[in-house]
């Protein structure tokens, strides 16, 4: 299996070649500024003591404070966090918000923890990290396995050390210094770029069949936004398996089922049961991977049939499969563009935390649309102009912005 960092590096060099970026600058941009590994030991509810490993990789801050989520997932390791941190640097540059990039997480299956255990774990993690994060330094946010609740604990714990500072973390509950529309933001951003893509290709949503892999925050909101835009969402999936309905899934019904069933689609009977593998290989017009990295790889790439793939997840396609798909003419809208809606609304939240000012949901949505549209158009036009894939174009745009800021900051 390919490693996460190898995939990201392969993409990086391809774009850097196009930009004729010097080797010294490449090395400066690839190596993270700081990588932290910490021990997180908690007492379980039954009195057992358990130790977990936590990470924060702070990749780059040439364009602003570092920014990126905390992931709680058993597969979390330094290699994965490292490449996801670098991806954040590019993502914030592609949508042109004033941030660098970071990522962190704990190797833990959060679903096995009670709410009290999750709170203890999170507070302990912040005890270890509070000195290296902060509203001007590095601002965490939700990612896989974490949510608004976890962000509230992070803010509260950080404040115990440093005083009132809501801008230390984003993705907080709306009632606790959060912003309306942050939770749906990644899915909404995916919806915006999907519509833009169709527009450029001259297709209509009503005639477009979509399969969405993953039904967590990103997948479920993407499904809802696409359904509202009159796409035909024919398949969805989560860890319990895939669900297919030729005439379209009742998305709101599926969300209701999942909400009432501990966030699982298990037992959803309004569609034909398929496997996650089958979902990826469906004959649809658009495939939206919205879960783990590397789900499209050299093992299954030969069976992927969708002509358009929108990367709602981070790194859902390993580089080896990416090249096979590109050769075949599959249009891939890359993660650094497609899922940047989340961090964009995080930026609105952070800015407002610092100004004690509020936008309503309509304004948040409107500004998100503006930022995503500008980024989409820039990437699309660059890709046409330079005859490169959308991924290479997005990486070129991001790398160029980061390299310029790095150069301008000087060396001393
Ligand atoms: N974890 C999300 C991402 O991968 C959001 C990061 C943020 O809002 O800072 O983009």
3-state SS, one letter per residue, for 162-176: HCCCHHHCCCCCCCC
105 lines ligand 1 (CB under 6 A): no
Check if 103 is active-site.
yes
Global pTM value: 0.97
Q: What is the pLDDT of residue 2?
A: 57
What average pLDDT does the segment 319-345 reach? 96
Minimum-distance ligand 1 atom for the alpha carbon of 170: 8
pLDDT digits (tens, 9 = 90+) for 265-296: 999 999 999 999 999 999 999 999 999 999 99
CB-based burial of residue 22 (10 Å sphere; 0-12 exposed, 13-18 middle, 19+ buried)?
A: exposed
| Residue 149: strand, helix, or coil | helix
Judged against a pLDDT cut of 60, whether residue 184 lies above it is answered with yes
Cα of 229 from ligand 1 centre, angstroms: 24
Q: Please, which residues bridge with residue 241 across strands? A: 238
| Residue 258: strand, helix, or coil | helix
Q: What is the pLDDT of residue 134?
A: 98
The phi and psi torsions of 366 (rounded to 5 degrees) equal -65, -45
Which among 403, 331, 368 is positioned nearest to 93, based on CA atoms?
403
343 lines ligand 1 (CB under 6 A): yes
Share of the chain above pLDDT 70, in %: 99
Q: What is the pLDDT of residue 8?
A: 84
Site to probe by mutation for ligand 1, drawn from 343, 368, 394 as the one with most ligand atoms within 8 Å of Cβ, is 343
Angle between helices 390-409 and 78-94 (to 10 degrees): 90
Judged against a pLDDT cut of 80, whether residue 351 lies above it is answered with yes
Contacts made by residues 384-393, CB under 8 angstroms, sequence distance 24+: 386/18, 388/15, 388/18, 389/326, 389/332, 390/331, 390/332, 390/333, 390/334, 390/337, 391/11, 391/322, 391/332, 391/334, 391/336, 392/11, 392/14, 392/15, 392/18
Which of 3, 33, 67, 103 is the catalytic position? 103
What average pLDDT does the segment 207-231 reach? 97
346 lines ligand 1 (CB under 6 A): yes
Q: What is the pLDDT of residue 330?
A: 98
| DSSP-assigned letter for residue 285 | S
Minimum-distance ligand 1 atom for the alpha carbon of 91: 10
End-to-end CA distance of the chain: 41
Domains for the chain: give ranges and CATH numbers. 32-166 (3.40.50.10860), 183-338 (3.40.50.720)
Share of the chain above pLDDT 90, in %: 95
**CA 194 – CA 208 distance, rounded (Å):** 11
71 lines ligand 1 (CB under 6 A): no
214 lines ligand 1 (CB under 6 A): no
Minimum-distance ligand 1 atom for the alpha carbon of 346: 8
What average pLDDT does the segment 107-115 reach? 96
**CA 281 – CA 45 distance, rounded (Å):** 42
pLDDT digits (tens, 9 = 90+) for 2-25: 567 787 899 999 999 999 999 999
191 lines ligand 1 (CB under 6 A): no
Q: What is the pLDDT of residue 6?
A: 80
What average pLDDT does the segment 378-395 reach? 98
CA dist 239 → 73, 92, 139, 315, 329 (Å)? 13, 30, 30, 18, 30
Which residue's alpha carbon is at the smallest distance from atom 8 of ligand 1? 343
304 lines ligand 1 (CB under 6 A): no
Q: What is the pLDDT of residue 1?
A: 52
Minimum-distance ligand 1 atom for the alpha carbon of 314: 4
Q: Cα torsion for 226, 230, 232, 237, to the nearest 10°?
A: 30
Q: What is the mean pLDDT of the chain?
A: 96
Whether 211 contacts 282, CB under 8 Å: yes
């Amino acid at each position: 299996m390919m490693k996460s960092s190898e995939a990201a590096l392969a993409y990086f060099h391809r774009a850097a070649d196009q930009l004729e970026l010097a080797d010294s600058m490449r090395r400066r941009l690839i190596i993270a500024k700081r990588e932290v590994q910490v021990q997180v030991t908690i007492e379980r509810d039954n009195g057992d003591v358990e130790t977990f490993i936590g990470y924060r990789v702070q990749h780059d801050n040439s364009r602003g404070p570092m920014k990126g989520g905390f992931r709680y997932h058993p597969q979390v390791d330094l290699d994965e966090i490292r490449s996801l941190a670098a991806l954040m640097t590019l993502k914030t540059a592609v949508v042109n918000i004033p941030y660098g990039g970071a990522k962190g997480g704990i190797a833990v299956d959060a679903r096995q923890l009670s709410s009290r255990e999750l709170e203890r774990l999170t507070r302990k993690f912040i005890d270890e990290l509070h000195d290296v994060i902060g509203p001007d330094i590095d601002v965490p946010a939700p990612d896989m396995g974490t949510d608004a609740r976890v962000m509230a604990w992070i803010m509260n714990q950080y404040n115990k050390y440093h005083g009132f500072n809501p801008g230390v973390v984003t993705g907080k509950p709306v009632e606790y210094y959060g912003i309306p529309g942050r939770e749906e933001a990644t899915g909404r951003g995916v919806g915006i770029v999907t519509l833009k893509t169709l527009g450029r290709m001259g297709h209509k949503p009503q005639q477009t069949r979509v399969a969405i892999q993953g039904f967590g925050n990103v997948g479920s909101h993407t499904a809802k936004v696409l359904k509202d835009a009159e796409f035909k969402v024919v398949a969805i999936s989560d860890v319990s398996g895939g669900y297919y309905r030729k005439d379209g899934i009742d998305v709101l019904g599926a969300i209701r089922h999942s909400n009432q069933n501990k966030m699982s689609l298990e037992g959803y009977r309004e569609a034909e049961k398929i496997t996650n593998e089958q979902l990826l290989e469906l004959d649809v017009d658009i495939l939206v991977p919205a879960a783990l990295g590397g789900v499209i790889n050299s093992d299954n790439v030969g069976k992927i049939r969708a002509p358009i793939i929108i990367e709602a997840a981070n790194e859902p396609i390993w580089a080896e499969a990416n090249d096979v798909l590109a050769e075949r003419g599959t249009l891939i809208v890359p993660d650094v563009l497609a899922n940047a809606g989340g961090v964009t609304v995080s930026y609105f939240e952070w800015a407002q935390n610092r100004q004690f000012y509020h936008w309503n949901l309509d304004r948040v949505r409107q500004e998100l649309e503006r930022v995503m549209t500008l980024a989409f158009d820039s990437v699309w036009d660059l890709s046409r102009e330079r005859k490169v894939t959308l991924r290479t174009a997005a990486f070129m745009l991001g790398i160029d912005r980061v390299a310029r800021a790095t150069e301008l900051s000087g060396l001393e």
